[in-house]
Amino acid sequence: MNKYIEILAPYIKKILYSYQLKFLADDSRWRIVNKSRQIGFSLSLALDAISGALVRERNQLIVSASKKNAEVVMNYVRWHLEGMNMLAAVDKEGFIELANGKHLMVCSTNWRTARGFNGDVYLDEFAFTIRDKEIWQAIVPSITAVSGRVTVVSTPKSRIDKFWQIYDGKSSKWSKHCITIHDAIRDGFPVDIDELRELFDPEEFAQAYECIPLDTAESYIPYTLIEPCIYDPLSEAFEALVLSMPESKGKRSYVYGVDIGRTKDETAVAETFRHDMVTWCAGIQSWQKMPFRTQKERLLGLAGNPCTELLVIDKGGIGMNLHEDLAFAFPSKIRGVSFAPAVKERMAKKLKIAFEEKKIRIPNDPSLISHILSIRRSANKTSTFSYNTEDSEHHGDKFWALALAYDWTCGNKIIDFRFM
């Protein structure tokens, strides 16, 4: 018997729930897991990889949707090793070698460099991996020489990505696991399901927690246009790009798009800047059910930042008072927009063209991507078009925040936000 089994077995039984144990007990060569968010699967994956290195005695290669995700898995590996009183022979960023000489390694999410390795392969949050088909072709051959196995794990995103094609496919070689938030709760996982439901509209909740992908067939901006414009904000490539920007010549100027919400909807804030004729979304904030006084304080803070060029806010309805107060405090920086049909038409079209022409970059943020995919375009009797989501409770807030910012950086008022 492998000497490590005596250490691993009691530890695994002590810390894992039944749905996690079932996954670890699956010795299939091809495994795919369609899972809810936030049910401890990175913890499970890390322990499974340790078992693969110590018991199956193969190197373990981990590819995640982003550098940040991969670091989460590796930190869980370290946590498990400490819990079992095991010392790593080598421990450095993205690489851990165990006492038996086998290693756990984070492979690049760059499909051009994710080659030349061998071992068992884990594709973590695969539905949200950029260039998923290229990554698949680059990394999966790693199992060939060592008779390794492939484990694909993700919360679903859409019905057209590689993850869903595998999970929903007819191939009998795949051992399939589906673990919803309800399955996890039934097995003892502690979470307040009602509290979670309050934070998401029904479609988002179904995707994030009930393993149901978004139906993107009718999306105004399809995923095929979005994917080439996604970047990983924690990747080495993006860090190199930021370093290459001429920061020394002046301050970067930001334009913020703000779509106001209070009860059912969230307030979404998109932070953008321009570089070489491309608009970059540096990040997007989401304020759920936040009191207006707190929203006002935060927006005043953004407007008062010397690097803020403009803050473009939805001034209709509940946004009216916020816009008035902000415009009084910073008249040169605040722009108000009323969401009339013609205005929404202009903004939506302009944003779609930006994706078509690859003149925009967005972070690999699942929530932002799902909001963009949720927008549908339909004709009205008055020869105008409506832009809405499929669910009346969800209004694509992050889509409109991004559209507000992009509209004012590209065309409504031509501003050069490159470094001056």
Whether the model pTM is above 0.75: no
| DSSP category for residue 319 | G
Q: Cα separations (Å) of 321 from 6, 124, 270? A: 65, 44, 20
Q: How does pLDDT run across 344-367, given as a tens digit for each residue? A: 889 999 999 999 999 999 998 878
Nearest to 277 by CA among 130, 415, 420: 415
pLDDT in tens, the chain (420 residues): 467 888 899 999 999 999 999 999 999 999 999 999 989 999 999 999 999 999 999 999 998 877 777 888 999 999 999 999 999 999 998 899 999 999 999 875 654 444 556 889 999 999 988 888 888 888 888 777 778 899 999 999 888 889 999 999 988 999 999 999 999 999 999 999 988 888 777 777 888 899 988 766 678 898 889 988 998 876 766 777 776 776 534 567 899 999 987 555 688 999 999 888 899 999 999 888 788 889 999 999 999 999 999 999 988 777 788 899 999 999 999 999 988 888 888 999 999 999 999 999 999 887 888 889 888 887 765 556 676 665 444 468 899 999 999 998 875 543 333 332
Strand partners, 31: 151, 175
What CATH number is associated with residue 66?
3.40.50.300
Instruction: Say if 420 falls within a structural domain.
Output: no
Instruction: Say if 35 falls within a structural domain.
Output: yes
Report which residue type is found at 386: S
> How many other CB atoms sit within 10 Å of the CB of residue 276?
8
Tell me how many domains the chain contains.
2
What CATH number is associated with residue 319?
3.30.420.240
State which residues form the domain around 336. 223-409
Instruction: Say if 240 falls within a structural domain.
Output: yes
Instruction: Say if 116 falls within a structural domain.
Output: yes
Considering the domain architecture, whether residues 199 and 286 belong to the same structural domain is answered as no
Considering the domain architecture, whether residues 185 and 227 belong to the same structural domain is answered as no
Considering the domain architecture, whether residues 36 and 159 belong to the same structural domain is answered as yes
Instruction: Say if 355 falls within a structural domain.
Output: yes
Residue with tokens 């722009």: 335
Instruction: Say if 51 falls within a structural domain.
Output: yes
Considering the domain architecture, whether residues 309 and 195 belong to the same structural domain is answered as no
Cα dihedral value 394, 396, 401, 407, nearest 10? -140
- DSSP for 8-53, written as a single string: HHHHHHHH--HHHHHHHH---SEEEEEE-SSSSHHHHHHHHHHHHH
Instruction: Say if 16 falls within a structural domain.
Output: yes
Instruction: Say if 217 falls within a structural domain.
Output: no
